């Protein structure tokens, strides 16, 4: 008999690192993108590089990586997907926020930030997706061996699919 994998619970330290990284990204991300596009290394760029390194190193290990990465993993089976890992995880982060029932104001703030730096917020932003595969992608995202099992509540493929469509709907309403 197989034992169910215990969820990876977020540590206090990882949550603090991730909060600080989030604040840095929201504060400096748009300017840093402009600076990089202009070929400049500025304080904003340095702050973003530090935040990404810190989060991907220390923060990632104990942050309870969950829905955002599971959505990425599910979407990888969809023909026509044409984005990089981090870009797909950005879309997955918005899906994660819907699943957690975050406030619409908070979701919209993150969504507008994603739009401002060119991250995908609509399904069509992910590529020329074969939409008939989305239910299978939602099923894959909910594979018990994947990080969706780290969510503090049960998540069904139907919930994931509904959340993907809700993110898409919200983004279209904002754009």
Tokens of 113: 């930030």
Share of the chain above pLDDT 70, in %: 89
How confident is the model at residue 12, as a pLDDT? 78
Mean pLDDT, rounded, for 9-26:
83
How confident is the model at residue 6, as a pLDDT? 52
51-85 pLDDT, tens per residue? Answer: 988 777 664 555 557 999 999 999 999 999 999 99
Whether the per-residue pLDDT at 3 is higher than 50: the answer is no
111-145 pLDDT, tens per residue? Answer: 999 999 999 999 999 999 999 999 999 999 999 99
Using alpha carbons, select from 9, 21, 16, 17 the residue that is nearest to residue 64: 9
Specify whether the CB–CB gap between 14 and 24 falls below 8 A: no
How confident is the model at residue 36, as a pLDDT? 98
Q: Please provide the distance, in angstroms rounded to a whole number, between the alpha carbons at the two ends of the chain.
A: 50
């Amino acid at each position: 008999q197989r034992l169910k994998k215990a969820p990876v619970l977020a540590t206090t330290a990882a949550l603090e690192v991730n909060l600080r990284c989030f604040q840095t990204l929201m504060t400096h991300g748009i300017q840093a993108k402009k600076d990089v596009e202009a070929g400049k290394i500025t304080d904003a760029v340095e702050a973003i590089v530090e935040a990404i390194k810190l989060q991907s190193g220390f923060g990632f290990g104990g942050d309870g990586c969950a829905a955002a990465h599971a959505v990425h993993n599910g979407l990888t089976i969809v023909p026509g997907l044409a984005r990089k890992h981090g870009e797909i995880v950005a879309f997955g982060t918005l899906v994660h926020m819907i699943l957690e029932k975050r406030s619409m104001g908070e979701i919209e703030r993150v969504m507008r930030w994603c739009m401002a730096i060119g991250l995908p917020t609509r399904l069509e932003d992910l590529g020329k997706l074969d939409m008939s595969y989305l239910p299978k992608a939602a099923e894959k995202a909910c594979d018990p061996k994947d990080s969706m099992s780290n969510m503090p509540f049960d998540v069904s493929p139907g919930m994931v699919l509904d959340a993907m469509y809700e993110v898409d709907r919200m983004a279209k309403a904002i754009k």
